[in-house]
């Protein structure tokens, strides 16, 4: 598949209709986070739902965790097969659990509420542990049935990931096959056309969403790579999945046919339990935290970066300059900046220029000044709920008589520096400029911000006798996890090999 640079997407021409669409999408995403479930066409048979959850005793659970750690350590080709259960601790409900989407819908209660908007959900401890297992050379491939994009947000390599049911935050060009990972939820499902086009000048085809509806077949490329990996695997570890949806649920069994083993970690019984070498009934995060501890592997923090584009245009009229500042998404005017609540614009060295607060997207400001005016403009970006800090700022020096130099910095190096600084300082809010393009009467720049940092403490996950899930219990584990999710809960990541953002 083709790849591209983060900033290659051009801004579409401004129109009221497009702007309204972006704002409408932002408002919808803030109100609820299960748009995917509501967009699916109706289906009567969604498998067995509402089955009781089982919890192994602390002693039994610890023994099974140790057994699983040995299996992982001895494995030569480990493949992990994930379901909705690995994302529930991020605030996203599952489908067939006691309070799952299908369970409540069958009871006539509609779609359950989620603790965070879909686009602000953060990778869980398990997601980040899988990143470290891959880095350590133990994990070879991940097959996911989830559409929440948390594997990609965690930084897991795209080339080692098969997303069988698609990704709610990803579009694809049907012609040149370039993938585009977004920081907002795509408007449609069912492999339909989206409002955007391919950024390749030689293509320009209308993009399509990647999420399957019930009647859609699994994408051949994803399915073929998943099946090949399962046949090669000597261990397929199934995490947080009921293993009911065909044909995906049968893939792990391919390893058994070739002498491999299957291990299952799930709170409910599955139809494949009898064929598994190990079945663990426990919270996925607790089990994986225990495995990581035994293997002496550190669970890395999750650090999210978000991006904005600044556009400063001006026209000269006699001795005056009329200028316009716009702050938009790097994906274009139509895309909402979901992590921003407002922008305060002030002019520290000019008492004659009044500050202003921009509340509506797309953020825009128009002013008129003297042609000879030289001033500083301070933008204070107020972040939305779910971010790890309240604000960050950019200072711009404006001189309409002098054109600035254009440049493009190494994106991967800049983002790595930002993340290292955020981890060292244990806080979010850092920002850096990635590129600037200067023309005689226009200047465009792209900036990156660290908006979240989450650390995962395995000490919070010591094996204990659970009486309910983390998200619903009043235990210290629940409160500690909830605190970290509030401190920062979102994600954005793209593979340098297969994705274009």
Model pLDDT, residue 183: 85
Which residue intervals of the chain bear CATH 2.60.40.1970?
A: 303-454
Average pLDDT over residues 220-246: 94
pLDDT at 465 over 60: no
Q: Among 396, 494, 391, which residue's Cα sits nearest to residue 450?
A: 391
Q: By CB neighbour count within 10 A (0-12 exposed, 13-18 middle, 19+ buried), where does 363 fall?
A: buried
Return the percentage of the chain with pLDDT > 70, whole number. 76
ω before 367 within 30° of 0 (cis)?
A: no
Quick one: tokens of 408? 């493009």
- Higher pLDDT pick, 314 / 487: 314
**pLDDT at residue number 371:** 85
Asked whether 267 and 53 are in contact (CB, 8 A), the reply is yes
Identify the sign of the CA torsion 80, 85, 91, 96.
Answer: positive
State how far Cα 493 lies from the chain centre. Answer: 7
Q: What is the mean pLDDT of residues 445-460?
A: 87
Residue 14: is its pLDDT beyond 50? no
Write the CA distances from 315 to 124, 242, 400, 403, integer angstroms: 49, 61, 10, 14
pLDDT at residue 84, rounded to an integer? 87
Least confident of 346-355, 453-462, 465-474: 465-474
Max CA separation in the chain (angstroms): 83
Residue 449: name the closest of 330, 307, 327 by CA: 307
Q: What is the DSSP string of 404-428?
A: PPPEE--HHHHHHHHHHHHHHHT--
Structure confidence by residue, pLDDT tens digits, 419-448 = 999 999 989 999 999 999 999 999 999 999
Q: What is the pLDDT of residue 98?
A: 59
In the predicted model, is pLDDT for residue 452 greater than 80?
yes
Of 417, 379, 421, whose CA–CA distance to 397 is shortest?
379
Contact call for residues 280 and 268 (beta carbons, < 8 A): no
Query: Can you list the pairs that 26-29 forms with residues at least 24 positions away whose Cβ atoms lie under 8 Å?
Result: 26/184, 26/336, 26/337, 26/338, 26/361, 29/117, 29/118, 29/119, 29/184, 29/185, 29/336, 29/338
- Round to whole Å and give the CA distance between 68 and 117: 34
Catalytic-labelled residue, pool 7, 119, 127, 165: 165
Question: Which residue shows structure tokens 């291990």?
Answer: 263
Work out the pLDDT band at 480, boundaries 50, 70, 90: very low
Structure tokens at 490: 């979102």
Between 5 and 174, residue with greater pLDDT: 174
List, for residues 73-126, the tens digit of each pLDDT value.
999 999 999 998 999 888 886 666 656 665 656 556 666 665 667 788 899 999
Q: Which of 270, 231, 285 is nearest to 54 (CA)?
A: 270
Q: What is the pLDDT of residues 400-414, one digit of tens each?
A: 989 999 999 999 999
Mean pLDDT of the chain: 82
Judge whether residue 373 has pLDDT over 70. Answer: yes
Q: Where are the alpha helices (DSSP H) in 295-346?
A: none
Residue 165 annotated among the catalytic residues of the structure: yes
Task: Convert the pLDDT of each residue in 131-160 to its tens digit.
Answer: 999 999 999 999 999 999 999 999 999 999
176 is in an annotated binding site: yes
**β-strand partners of 344:** 357, 380
User: Which tokens belong to 161?
Assistant: 């990931």
This prediction's pTM: 0.80
In this model, does residue 332 exceed pLDDT 80?
no
Residue 420 annotated as lining a ligand binding site:
no
pLDDT of residue 41: 61
Q: Find out whether 320 is annotated in a ligand binding site.
A: no
203 is in an annotated binding site: yes
Model confidence over 187-207: pLDDT tens digits?
888 889 999 999 888 999 999
Q: How confident is the model at residue 265 (pLDDT cuts 50, 70, 90)?
A: very high
CATH 3.40.50.1220 fits 58-168+211-300, yes or no: yes
Instruction: Enter the DSSP assignment of 332.
Output: B
pLDDT of residue 38: 64
What dotted CATH number matches 303-454? 2.60.40.1970
Residue 490 scores a pLDDT above 50:
no
Where exactly does CATH 3.40.50.1220 map onto the chain?
58-168+211-300
The answer to whether the CB of 91 falls within 8 A of the CB of 471 is yes
- pLDDT of 34 > 60? The answer is no
């Amino acid at each position: 598949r083709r790849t591209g640079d983060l900033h290659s997407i051009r801004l579409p021409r401004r129109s009221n209709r497009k702007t309204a669409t972006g704002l409408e999408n932002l408002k919808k995403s803030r109100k609820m986070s299960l748009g995917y479930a509501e967009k699916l066409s109706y289906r009567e048979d969604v498998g067995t739902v509402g089955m009781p959850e089982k919890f192994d005793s602390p002693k039994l659970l610890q023994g099974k965790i140790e057994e699983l750690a040995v299996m992982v350590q001895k494995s030569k080709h480990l493949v992990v097969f994930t379901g909705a259960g690995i994302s529930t601790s991020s605030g996203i409900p599952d489908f067939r659990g006691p309070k799952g989407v299908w369970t409540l819908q069958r009871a006539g209660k509609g779609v359950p509420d989620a603790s965070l908007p879909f686009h602000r959900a953060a990778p869980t401890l398990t997601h980040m542990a899988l990143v470290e297992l891959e880095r350590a050379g133990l994990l070879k491939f991940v097959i996911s049935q989830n559409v929440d994009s948390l594997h990609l947000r965690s930084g897991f390599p795209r080339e080692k990931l098969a997303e069988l049911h698609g990704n709610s935050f990803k579009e694809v060009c049907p012609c040149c096959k370039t993938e585009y990972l977004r920081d907002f939820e795509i408007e449609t499902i069912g492999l339909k056309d989206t409002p955007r086009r391919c950024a390749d000048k030689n293509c320009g085809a209308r993009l399509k969403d990647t999420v399957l509806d019930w009647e859609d077949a699994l994408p051949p490329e994803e399915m073929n790579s998943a099946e090949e990996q399962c046949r090669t695997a000597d261990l397929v570890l199934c995490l947080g999945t009921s293993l009911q949806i065909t044909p995906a649920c049968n893939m792990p069994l391919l390893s058994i046919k070739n002498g491999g083993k299957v291990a299952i970690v799930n709170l409910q019984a599955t139809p494949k339990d009898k064929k598994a070498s190990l079945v663990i009934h426990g919270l996925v995060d607790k089990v994986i935290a225990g495995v990581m501890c035994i293997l002496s592997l550190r669970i890395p923090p999750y650090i999210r970066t978000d991006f904005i584009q600044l556009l400063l245009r001006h026209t000269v009229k006699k001795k005056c300059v009329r200028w316009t500042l716009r702050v938009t998404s790097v994906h274009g005017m139509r895309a909402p900046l979901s992590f921003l609540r407002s922008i305060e614009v002030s002019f520290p060295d000019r008492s004659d220029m009044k500050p202003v607060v921009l509340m509506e997207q797309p953020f825009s400001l128009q002013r008129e000044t003297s042609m000879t005016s030289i001033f500083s403009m301070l933008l204070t970006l107020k972040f939305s709920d779910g971010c790890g800090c309240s604000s960050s700022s950019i200072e711009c020096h404006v001189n309409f008589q002098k054109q600035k130099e254009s440049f493009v910095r190494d994106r991967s190096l800049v983002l790595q520096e930002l993340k290292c600084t955020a981890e060292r300082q244990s806080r979010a809010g850092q920002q850096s400029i990635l590129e600037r393009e200067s023309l005689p009467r226009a200047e465009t720049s792209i900036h990156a911000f660290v908006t979240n940092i989450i650390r995962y403490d395995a000490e919070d996950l010591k094996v204990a006798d659970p009486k309910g899930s983390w998200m619903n219990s009043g235990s210290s584990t629940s409160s500690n996890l909830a605190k970290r999710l509030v401190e920062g809960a979102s994600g954005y990541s793209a593979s340098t090999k297969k994705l274009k953002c």
